[in-house]
Amino acid sequence: MISQTPKERLIVVSNRLPFVVRKGSDKQWKITPGSGGLVTALLPVLRDRGGIWIGWPGTTDKIDDISQVLADSNRDAGYALVPVALTDDEVHKFYQGFSNEVIWPLFHDLQSHCNFDPSYWQVYKEVNHKYAQVIARQSKENDFIWVHDYHLMNVATELRHLGVRSRIGFFLHIPFPSLDIFLKLPWRFELLHALLDYDLIGFQTLRDRRNFVQCIRAMVKHVTVQGKGQVLTANVGDREVRIGAFSISIDYNTFIEEATGAEVIEKVRQLHGVLPDRQLILGVDRLDYTKGIPNRLEAFRNALVRYPELHRRITLIQIVVPSREDIPKYHDLRTTIEQMVGHINGEFTKFGRWVPIHYMFRNLTRVELLAYYRACEIALVTPLKDGMNLVAKEYCASSIKEENVLILSEFAGAAAQLQNGALLVNPYDIEGVADAIYQAFVMDKAERQGRMRRMRRSISKYNIFWWVDSFLRAAIAKDLSAFPLMEDYVPKTDIDVPVI
């Protein structure tokens, strides 16, 4: 698939480099490759056509040393890694501040969590300028520059000011909010115009793209949008901007390979041995208020109250992965979750026989994560709002026997694609989620298999390589009619999920 894209050099830009750079106990720099679908999908393209990945190395230590270490460690890779240096104040105001206390909550429809501190916006622009300077130094005219995510929405504007004429694409990994919510942003006009300086803007779903189109139609003069299918064209003054929906995915085949490995199978056996004669329900999320963990715990409690036959027959394994703990809201969230787990276990535990929730607050190894995916008969993926949610897709890919049930929030981007197989729920509807837990528990094998098969077929076809390939082709294609909508993703209604 990758070979269908043109052979220009690719410059990938993301907030963080896809490598973890830190000093070992011997005071020497250590570089560990990052994991995850984006890295897996983009590194082969970078190797194939050559290019550069630009980003912050995750430390505010001296950049000259780090540049050298990155260059040395990557000498034969076929692509280069170039760091952007950030100070502690920049990390505080650009990353924790504007990115994670303004854009992250606002774009996830949680405006009450926003801290609209004007100094954050100032530093956000300065840091985006810094990234642009590094890109401008490194790029040549024919390169394609692909910028990722909400930390870097101003980069195209800064690059144009610096005289860069290359084509620039942008992909937003989180949702794009509706007009009424976007209007709350004090810097709404500047930010919208900044996005329109990209040549191609990619969103996760049709719903995000529709929200964006609604915003530009309402807020930008002399804009027209036309086309249908996956990629639209907007004419803004004398410029043409492409606007597409590209649902991100996973490296499906590698997931299956890893999930069938001996270590994973042994760990699954141990888990069933420790927790026998019941169905296991999995929740695994980064510590984040968008993931809806308290609502989920309330729904689980509701299921135990309304369906007593579930007692001792189900166990919830809730794993919370530490994240952004420097931000006070995240710290408070952890306390709330832990108090709720304590209350529910205190209320329902049968001493020596059954503890309803097994809770862990830590990072898992890949083997552990895959073992939980495989061992748990049901997954509860119930974010209040989510760009896509890769955990949902990874869980399905790991369901080798196709006997597991996915309960999925209709506000996760993944819902549009997986609605033919998942039990869709509104995460705010406590009784609705509780009923879905019960429905999953009693679902027979034939229905489980039918649902899981449909989801896996779709995830396998629209995998991470399809995502990279379709984005890169959309940036250069002459004929946009060659970009039909994903076949499973034919929204039946304007809100992407079925209505009665």
Q: Does 468 bind ligand GDG (CB under 6 A)?
A: no
CA gap 148, 13 in Å, rounded: 6
Would you give the binding string for ligand GDG spanning residues 237-256, x where CB under 6 A is met? -----------x--------
Among 366, 401, 445, 492, binds ligand GDG (CB under 6 A): 366
Q: Based on CB atoms, which residue is closest to ligand GDG, 220 or 321?
A: 321
For ligand GDG, the closer CB: 394 or 488: 394
Residue of 201, 243, 303, 391 that binds ligand GDG (CB under 6 A): 391
Edge to edge, what strands does the sheet with 167-171 contain? Answer: 79-83, 51-56, 10-16, 144-148, 167-171, 200-203, 239-245, 231-236, 223-226
Span of 134-142, 340-348, 382-390, 491-499 interacting with ligand GDG by CB under 6 A: 382-390
Residue ranges in 163-222 that form contacts with ligand GDG under rule CB under 6 A: 173-174
Total chain residues near ligand GDG (CB under 6 A): 18
Q: Cα–Cα distance between 267 and 265 in angstroms, integer?
A: 5
Query: Which of 91, 148, 132 shows the shortest CA–CA distance to 324?
Result: 91
List CB contacts of 149: < 8 A, sequence separation 6 or more: 14, 15, 171, 172, 173, 174
Half-sphere exposure of 226 (CA within 13 A, CB side): 5
The contacts of residue 64 (CB under 8 Å, 6+ apart) are: none
Among 286, 358, 457, 473, binds ligand GDG (CB under 6 A): 286
**Which of residues 43, 213, 280, 369 is near ligand GDG by CB under 6 A?**
369
Among 264, 388, 422, 472, binds ligand GDG (CB under 6 A): 388
- Choice between 139 and 417, CB closer to ligand GDG: 417
The Cα-based distances of 46 to 2, 7, 31, 52, 157 in angstroms read: 10, 10, 19, 7, 25
- Told to check if 474 binds ligand GDG by CB under 6 A, we report no
Q: Does 329 bind ligand GDG (CB under 6 A)?
A: no
Q: At what angle do helices 390-397 and 366-375 cross, to 10 degrees?
A: 70
Q: Which active-site residues does the annotation give?
A: 173, 386
x/- contact string, 296-325, with ligand GDG (CB under 6 A)? Answer: -------------------------x----
**205 contacts 462 by C-beta, under 8 angstroms:** no
Cβ-based burial of 3 (10 A; exposed 0-12, middle 13-18, buried ≥19): exposed
Q: Least distance (Å) from ligand GDG to the CB of residue 398? A: 10
- What is the closest distance, in whole angstroms, from the C-beta atom of residue 500 to ligand GDG in the complex? 27
Taking CB under 6 A as the rule, does residue 341 contact ligand GDG? no
CA angle 484, 173, 282 (to 5 degrees): 100
* CB-CB neighbours of 277 under 10 Å: 7
Select the residue interacting with ligand GDG from 197, 208, 251, 394 (CB under 6 A).
394
As given in the structure block, the two tokens for residue 9 are 């050099």
Residues found near ligand GDG in the complex (CB under 6 A): 36, 173-174, 248, 284, 286, 321, 363-364, 366, 369, 386-391, 394
